Structure 1
């Protein structure tokens, strides 16, 4: 198993993994399967090659098995912050440390940008595995957003976390 930055050649696999994540855990992601599946392949390619996002993949043999991204703030007064987004590890390879490795890759990327001072993220309240992973990686909770995501008629809160670099 290894971690690497994804590029345009990974767009189809990245799309498939994101759609899997949104389908299996709709409460964990703000985007829906319907919204994301409507995006053309060029959108997925640009997400992997643009200047505002960096996406890492965890590979099990030659198969993409996990993903996590880092989004940079374009606004001048917020450029010291970045956001960890889209964290997902396939169920069949969980408990092997891939999530931890993905978060570490995101943090290493963040540290390589001297102007960055912190990384923030949100995690769905009740997702104890993800919350505990982020805590092990040095993130601390700073807030709770009630009713942050609606899936059908059900609402889910989001825990806001941050970590200084």
Structure 2
């Protein structure tokens, strides 16, 4: 098991794992399979090679099995914040520490950016495994967004969490 920063050469695997996440846990993500599956491969490559995102992959037996990203804020007055996004670990490799390692990789990356003071994230209310993971990594809740995501006719709340760097 290892973690590395993804680049454009990982775009196909990143796309496949992200779409799996959207399909299996639609309540956890604001994007849908339908809207993201139609994007060209160049969009996925750009996401992995852009300056405003750092995306990490967790590999198990040579296969991409987990992902987590860090989005940097481009606006001058908000550059002290970054957002952990797109966290997902395939069901077959959960409970092995990969999620923890991915969050730590994101936090390590955040710590390398001068002036960055905090990382924030949202997590679906009721996803206790993810909430516990984020709390183990030092995140604390600061708010709740009701009806943050709609899947069909069902609404899901999002817990907002943050951690100082």
Instruction: Describe the superposition over 1:64-91 as per-residue Cα deviations: whole angstroms up to 9, x where unpaired.
Output: 0000000000000000000000000000
For 1:153, the equivalent position in structure 2 comes to 153
> What 5-or-longer segments of structure 2 have no aligned partner?
none
Structure 1 stretches lacking a partner, 5+ long: none
Q: TM-score scaled by structure 1?
A: 1.00
Q: CA deviation at 1:2?
A: 0.2
Matched with 2:47 is 47
Shift of 1:145: 0.0
Which residue matches 2:95? 95
Match of 1:130 in 2: 130
Match of 1:16?
A: 16
- For 1:134-161, what per-residue CA distance to the aligned partner results, in whole angstroms no more than 9, with x for missing partners? 0000000000000000000000000000
Deviation of residue 96 (structure 1)?
Answer: 0.2
In the aligned structure 1, how far is the partner of 2:65 from the partner of 2:88? 8
Moved over 3 A (4+): none
CA RMSD of aligned residues (A): 0.3
Count of residue correspondences: 165
Q: Which residue of 2 aligns with 1:71?
A: 71
| 1:5 and 2:1 matched | no
What is the Cα deviation at residue 50 of structure 1?
0.3
